[in-house]
Chain A
Amino acid sequence: MYNGLDPVLNTPVRLAIVSVLVKVRQADFNYLMEVTQTTQGNLSQQIKKLNEAKYIEVIKTFKGNYPQTICKLTDTGKKAFEKYVADIKIYLHL
């Protein structure tokens, strides 16, 4: 029905991840899980898809002895989000 909308962003978890990353400079995995209220497995999968689309950059690091995943929005992701917002505004006649 809404074929013009970016299929990468047009799902709840991926759109939520990108919406968070618009507001923050970087976010770690636990924070994204808290905000998106999704499971660890699903979040990993959605992050992978956003990373494959080059919308986000994923940095693997360590905090103390524990591995930590950090996500940052790329310029491609930022432009895609801006276009997505512009597109939904057109659909909603805003």
Chain B
Amino acid sequence: MEANEMKLDPEQSLRLITATIAKTRDNIKAMSDCFLLWGWLIAAASLLFYGLHAFTTTRLYFLPFPLAVAIGVVWTLRYFRQLKAGTETWLNWFLKQLWLAIGVCFLLVVGISLLNHQLPFTYTLLLGGLGTLVSGLVMRFRPLIAGGILFLLLACCSVMVGDALKPLLQGIAVIGGYLAPGYLLKYSKSV
């Protein structure tokens, strides 16, 4: 573009606005590493919880979750400190706020469930389903929408199975409903 004060006619203006907005694409992939890391942490914690609870006699079978959350929080804080103050689209901002709120609710749900002496997996599956479904809808990315629905279906199934199987369902939900669409999104050309 020229440095002088060239005036635009309405047609040129409209073309320029359209072209500029088209160039300003949402860059979800910039945040994908952080979202995928959380997926792996929760999936690993769920499967380890299931394995330790079902196949060992250890009383520390719950330990993978606090460990995963601690690793995730430290890593996320460092990650967003590096990203801070750059270019951020409204969609990226919305997704960050959505998952931050879901993360807080996740911790509250776990805390409240522990106080009530019950497992939190049905509710954490619902929260994961909500976040994944809304993310898929705002990004218009069908695999993620399907992933969100899978979470919600498995949340319903978790009411019908014994406590021992609930973390396994969560592991399956995270791998099939969050990580798989997450990698499809990361390597897709469309979003």
Contacts and interface: CB of A to CB of B under 8 A. Distances in A.
Given A2-B10, A12-B16, A26 B3 contact: no
Contacts of A38: 1, 3
B13 A15 contact: yes
Given A2-B9, A11-B8, A19 B1 contact: no
Contact of B20 (A35, A41, A45, A68): A35
A10 B90 contact: no
A80 interface: no
A60 to B, nearest CB: 10
* Residue of B7, B13, B16, B86 with most partner-chain A CB within 10 A: B13
A53 interface: no
B90 A24 contact: yes
Interface in A59-79: 59, 61, 63, 68, 70
Interface of A: 1-2, 5, 10-13, 15-16, 19-20, 22-28, 31, 35-39, 41-42, 45, 59, 61, 63, 68, 70, 84-85, 87-88, 91-92
Interface of B: 1-3, 5-14, 16-17, 20-21, 23-24, 84-90, 92-93
Name the 10 nearest CB pairs between A and B, nearest first: A91-B10, A88-B10, A19-B20, A42-B3, A31-B87, A23-B24, A27-B87, A38-B1, A25-B93, A16-B20
